[in-house]
């Protein structure tokens, strides 16, 4: 059960069946010796006292960022902010040693097994033929990214001459152009599972999860400094290796960097790779495991935070200059995140914010007891003062309040319920927290923090344009005596992350399935039974407005601009009842945004048919100069459809039969269909096969 459901369960239980509270309230709800009203006041005061205030400097707002002086200060901060979690030590294989009251040492002591050697691994060279290459650089496709000039990590990369494919623990380097000499020329093997690649100026960057050997974990505890290694199997080690591939037949490793944590995202801009990780902020008794970057513990003085919150992760932003082999890392306590957006100037990290269910409990209790007899209030306060387990304490409170509440008239119970919902409506609203960090090479600086209602679907629901950050969200709204409903919103924020414009309550009881910002326009696809494509005008950031919309069966899950006039939609075909019937490829004419039209579509029928594009935009490839794009499919048929666009009409140019296709690229007049096991080269006019290269 997620935290939102717990919150709602608590409120309903408090109002209708208070006796059930004992099965939903966790045993570590903080106790208090004051009345319910003063309890709420103390919680609110505590949160606002520690809030980091923004200070205005000219036209910009500089967010106040705090750090910790000692490890104990960090521990106390965590104790006052979040509830303790269960230890993860049983996952560790090996001995666990506690050395208490050790004499302080100048630097933290961390005992782990030896780290990986920095010597470049052996490369396997495969003989190949030689031939004259093209005299001028060929035209080739790059990874389908959201922001031009900001590359995204992917399993397949090309520089127009070579193709790099990652599978498991191996990176395959293929001479790709010209096709007559195409062949596998070398491999690089790493000690783990490859997450993705970058290729930039004859540099190959490999990001992978290291295969960790069983660890012997030693905790060294000193008077003012505690060093705790990462829990085994909980925080994987992410490694970034940089290779010089000036001679692709013999790659040379020139750098290695690492950090423990869950991988969130990675980008490359201006020769700098940015890797965003999250390391769990766990409080167990008096222990908080500290993050480890490049095999060194990050000291508390280098961990930054904005204000108190209800839960945390250590967000690690690791920046690496691939040319100069220099690096920098910044560590922040933030909310947990799975969504980022990065422009050439800023990195935005988003996290979902849920209300603290303990605070919801106290607020609801205050309202229920507001008109209660004094003897009921006194009984509750006496229970609050008992020196007993919190679980038992709240069980006793639930019994007292339930007995009082059930004796009220139905009209009074309804009135109290409505008061609770009205009081907590805004407090319980779904919210997303946004952090903005400015980026300039290796320099990373926290600039602003803000909040918006609702949840973000994916990175395409966000966009930076002319010093504004635009976001589309879907929000679930809870009302008394009614099922939850969903609405969709678009917010425009300034660089201080203050909302300056908004468009709310779009498409009642539908949710966003695809979004695309393009200049002063935003296009949203929502779905329930039919596919409304909304065209939204953002030319005035303070007054977003709907220009027009189109309804058509099915829905798009990925939108891609084609020139200035068209929008390509990749998604699901559906009948008038909303039942899925296969894949749908649609072409929308958006030249008149007040009257968007679907001018052509191709439906690939079959319930088992699926395309990787629906969950990974990097699987989409387009060649606008030659007016075609590629759609890999899996299921009853497997391969890659090459779709042409001619005078506003979609047509199937051909099909590349290929099992488990993952990517498609083009180099000059050739299309390369890529799976994890082979590369198939075809002519882009006839779609006839020229050559197949095995990746083995």
SS3 of the chain: helix, strand, coil, percent, to 5: 15, 45, 35
Q: What residues contact residue 612 under an 8 Å CB cut-off, 6+ apart?
A: 619, 632, 634, 661, 662
For 391, the 3-state DSSP assignment is helix
- Average pLDDT on 499-522 reads 96
Report how far residue 200's alpha carbon sits from residue 247's, in angstroms, rounded to the nearest whole number.
Answer: 14
Based on C-alpha coordinates, what's the Rg of the chain?
28
For 177, the 3-state DSSP assignment is coil
Residue 387 has pLDDT above 80, yes or no: yes
| Residue predicted with more confidence, 573 or 443 | 443
- Average pLDDT on 427-455 reads 93
Q: What is the pLDDT of residue 82?
A: 62
Q: What is the percent of the chain with per-residue pLDDT over 70, rounded to a whole number?
A: 78
For 676, the 3-state DSSP assignment is coil
Q: What is the pLDDT of residue 659?
A: 96
Report how far residue 620's alpha carbon sits from residue 215's, in angstroms, rounded to the nearest whole number.
Answer: 41
Residue 107 has pLDDT above 70, yes or no: no
112: tokens are 């782990």
Peptide bond into 170 cis (omega under 30): no
Instruction: Convert the pLDDT of each residue in 588-602 to its tens digit.
Output: 999 999 999 999 999
Q: What is the pLDDT of residue 309?
A: 66
Q: What is the pLDDT of residue 393?
A: 81
Q: What is the percent of the chain with per-residue pLDDT over 90, rounded to a whole number?
A: 58
Asked if residues 602 and 611 have their Cβ atoms less than 8 Å apart, the reply is: no
| Residue predicted with more confidence, 10 or 140 | 140
Residue 488 has pLDDT above 90, yes or no: yes
* Residue carrying structure tokens 């409506």: 425
Instruction: Convert the pLDDT of each residue in 642-668 to its tens digit.
Output: 999 999 999 999 999 999 999 999 999
Q: What is the chain's mean pLDDT, rounded?
A: 81
Query: For residue 576, what pLDDT band results from cuts at 50, 70 and 90?
Result: confident
Of the given ranges (41-50, 80-89, 468-477, 683-692), which has the lowest mean pLDDT? 41-50
Residue 26 has pLDDT above 80, yes or no: no
What string of DSSP letters covers 510-533?
-EEEEEEEETTEEEEEEESSEEEE
Instruction: Convert the pLDDT of each residue in 265-311 to its tens digit.
Output: 999 999 999 999 999 888 877 788 889 999 899 999 999 998 766 67
446: tokens are 């926290």
Report how far residue 194's alpha carbon sits from residue 311's, in angstroms, rounded to the nearest whole number.
Answer: 30
What string of DSSP letters covers 628-669?
EEEEEEBSSS-EEEEEEEETTEEEEEEEEE-SSEEEEEEETT
Cα 294 vs. chain centroid, distance in angstroms? 23
Instruction: Convert the pLDDT of each residue in 181-215 to its tens digit.
Output: 999 999 999 999 999 999 999 999 999 999 875 54
Report how far residue 498's alpha carbon sits from residue 519's, in angstroms, rounded to the nearest whole number.
Answer: 20
Residue 577 has pLDDT above 60, yes or no: yes
Q: What is the pLDDT of residue 308?
A: 67
Residue 498 has pLDDT above 50, yes or no: yes
Provide the angle, in degrees to the nearest 10, between the axes of the packed helices 390-406 and 374-384. Answer: 170
What string of DSSP letters covers 124-169?
EE------PPPSSPPPB-----SSTT-EE-BSEEE-SSEEEEEETT
Q: What residues contact residue 395 under an 8 Å CB cut-off, 6+ apart?
A: 21, 22
pTM, two decimal places: 0.82
């Amino acid at each position: 059960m997620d935290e939102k459901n717990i919150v709602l369960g608590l409120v309903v239980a408090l109002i209708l069946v208070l006796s059930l509270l004992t099965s939903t309230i966790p045993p570590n709800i903080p106790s208090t010796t004051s009345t319910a009203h003063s309890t709420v006041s103390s919680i609110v005061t505590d949160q606002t006292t520690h809030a980091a205030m923004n200070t205005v400097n000219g036209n910009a707002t500089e967010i106040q960022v705090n750090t910790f002086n000692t490890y104990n200060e960090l521990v106390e901060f965590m104790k006052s902010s979040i509830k303790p979690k269960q230890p993860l030590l049983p996952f560790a294989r090996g001995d666990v040693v506690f050395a208490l009251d050790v004499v302080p040492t100048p630097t933290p002591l961390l005992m782990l097994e030896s780290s990986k050697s920095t010597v470049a691994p052996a490369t396997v060279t495969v003989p190949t033929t030689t031939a004259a290459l093209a005299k001028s650089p060929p035209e080739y496709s790059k990874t389908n990214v959201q922001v031009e000039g900001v590359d995204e990590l992917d399993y397949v990369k090309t520089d127009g001459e070579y193709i790099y494919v990652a599978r498991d623990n191996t990176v395959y380097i293929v001479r790709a152009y010209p096709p007559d000499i195409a062949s596998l020329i070398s491999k690089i093997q790493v000690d783990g599972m490859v997450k993705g690649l970058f290729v930039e100026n004859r540099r190959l960057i490999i990001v992978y999860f290291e295969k960790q050997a069983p660890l012997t974990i030693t905790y060294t505890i000193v008077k003012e400094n505690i060093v705790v290694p990462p829990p085994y199997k909980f925080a994987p080690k992410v490694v970034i290796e940089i290779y010089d591939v000036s001679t692709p037949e013999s790659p040379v490793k020139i750098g290695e960097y690492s950090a423990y944590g869950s991988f969130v995202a990675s980008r490359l801009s201006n020769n700098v790779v940015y890797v965003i990780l999250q390391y769990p902020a766990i409080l167990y008794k008096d222990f908080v495991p500290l993050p480890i970057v490049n095999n060194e513990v990050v000291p508390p003085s280098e961990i930054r935070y904005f204000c108190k919150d209800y839960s945390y992760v250590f967000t690690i932003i690791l920046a690496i200059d691939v040319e100069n082999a220099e690096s920098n890392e910044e560590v922040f306590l933030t909310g947990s995140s799975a969504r980022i957006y990065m422009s050439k100037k800023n990195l935005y990290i988003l996290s979902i914010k849920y209300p603290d269910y303990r605070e919801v409990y106290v607020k609801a209790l205050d309202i229920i007891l507001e008109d209660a007899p004094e003897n009921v209030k006194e009984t509750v306060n006496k229970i609050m003062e008992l020196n007993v387990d919190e679980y038992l304490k709240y069980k006793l409170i639930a019994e007292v309040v339930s007995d009082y509440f059930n004796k009220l008239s139905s009209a009074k119970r309804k009135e109290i319920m409505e008061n609770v919902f009205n009081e907590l409506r805004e407090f319980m609203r779904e919210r997303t927290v946004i952090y903005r960090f400015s980026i300039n090479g290796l320099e990373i600086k926290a600039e602003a923090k803000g909040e918006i209602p609702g949840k973000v679907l994916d990175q395409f629901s966000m966009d930076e344009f002319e010093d504004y950050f635009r976001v589309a969200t879907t929000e679930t709204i809870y009302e008394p005596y009614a099922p939850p409903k969903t609405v969709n919103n678009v917010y425009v924020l300034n660089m201080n992350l203050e909302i300056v414009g908004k468009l709310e309550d779009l498409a009642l009881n539908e949710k966003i399935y695809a979004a695309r910002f393009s200049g002063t326009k935003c296009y949203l696809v929502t779905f329930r039974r039919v596919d409304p494509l909304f065209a939204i005008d953002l030319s005035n950031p303070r007054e977003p407005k709907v220009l027009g919309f189109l309804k058509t069966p099915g829905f798009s899950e990925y939108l891609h601009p084609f020139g200035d006039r068209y929008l390509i939609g990749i998604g699901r075909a559906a009948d008038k009842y909303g039942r899925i019937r296969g894949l749908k490829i649609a072409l929308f004419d958006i030249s008149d945004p007040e009257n968007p039209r679907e001018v052509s579509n191709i439906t690939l029928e079959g319930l088992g048919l699926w395309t990787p594009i629906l969950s990974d935009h990097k699987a989409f490839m387009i060649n606008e100069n030659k007016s075609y794009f590629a759609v890999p499919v899996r299921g009853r048929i497997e391969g890659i459809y090459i779709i042409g666009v001619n005078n506003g009409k979609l047509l199937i140019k051909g099909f590349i039969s290929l099992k488990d296709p993952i990517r498609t690229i083009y180099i000059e007049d050739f299309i390369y269909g890529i799976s994890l096991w082979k590369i198939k080269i075809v002519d882009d006019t006839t779609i006839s096969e020229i050559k197949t290269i095995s990746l083995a």
